Amino acid sequence: MTDTVFGMTMIVLICALFTAGAVAAVYRIIVGPALLDRVVATDVLIATVMCALGAEMAINHHTHTLPVLLVLAMFAVVGSISAARFLANQDDA
Amino acid sequence: MTDFADTVTLVLVFFGALMCFAAGVGLLRFPDVLARLHAATKPQIFGLIVICFDIVLSSPGIGTITMAVAIIVFQALTAPVSAHLVSRAAYRSGRFRPESLIRDDLAVRMASGDEASAGAAPGRGDGTGPDDASAGRPTD
């Protein structure tokens, strides 16, 4: 797949888009004005990591990190739920 | 055939990456938590569905299909829960713009002291209370 110009162009473009999304999420985690902004940005970062792992599997034709995706889909929600549930009243966290 | 499958794989991965990029742009550009939450759900559901479909296309098999369906099901179960709790906390802490809401039923319930019983007792909170008529769309 990587031996054609189209394939390499698409792969570089995909890497650039994933990197831009992850950097935007990290920026919002760092400067986010409220705790809930950081929680939402953490969810976006986890979703970006999951999509990037899956993209790497699809491009390289293997399935070695599918259990990682399954565990992330099941348990990545715990952090945001606990933060939103118990820290909702702290405005300047 | 292999070239065609690889092209489809690359295009689907590109759509998933585009969803992640759109979520990042929405996180940077949108003004409050509720709007950012709207942008954040795109890679969580649609991007992951596209990527899982892409993995199944890339390396087909019964194990791969089972795992991909399980990943999509669990993500679709857990992502709305966290989104609901985050938006609830954002509403309670006042981190949203009231002028961005067209209809706000929860404010009427919280003002009338009915919100606790609406959350606890089934049968209330179904939009048939006497206060709901006054919470309609603005009439100006």
| Chain segment A6-65, per-residue pLDDT in tens | 888 889 999 999 999 999 999 999 997 888 888 889 999 999 999 999 999 998 888 889
Q: Which member of B21, B78, B81 has the closest CB to residue A17?
A: B21
What length does chain B have? 140
Contact A13 B36 (CB under 8 A): no
Burial of B19: CB neighbours in 10 Å, binned 0-12, 13-18, 19+: buried
- Give a yes or no: residue B74 inside a domain: yes
pLDDT tens track for B13-44: 999 999 899 999 998 988 888 888 888 888 88
- Give a yes or no: residue B56 inside a domain: yes
Contact A80 B13 (CB under 8 A): no
- Give a yes or no: residue B137 inside a domain: no
- What value of ipTM does the predicted structure carry? 0.86
* Residue B15 to residue B46: CA distance in whole angstroms: 9
Domain count for chain B: 1
- Give a yes or no: residue B128 inside a domain: no
* Residue B42 to residue B18: CA distance in whole angstroms: 10
Domains of chain A by residue range: 5-86
* Residue A23 to residue A29: CA distance in whole angstroms: 10
- Give a yes or no: residue B69 inside a domain: yes
Its pTM stands at 0.81
Contacts of A74 in chain B (CB under 8 A): 74, 78
- In sequence order, the β-bridge partners of residue B124 are B122
* Residue B53 to residue B49: CA distance in whole angstroms: 6
Q: Which residues of A45-83 are buried (b: 16+ CB within 10 A; e: fewer)?
A: bbbbbbbbbbbbbbbeeebeebeebbebbbebbeebbeb
- Give a yes or no: residue B47 inside a domain: yes
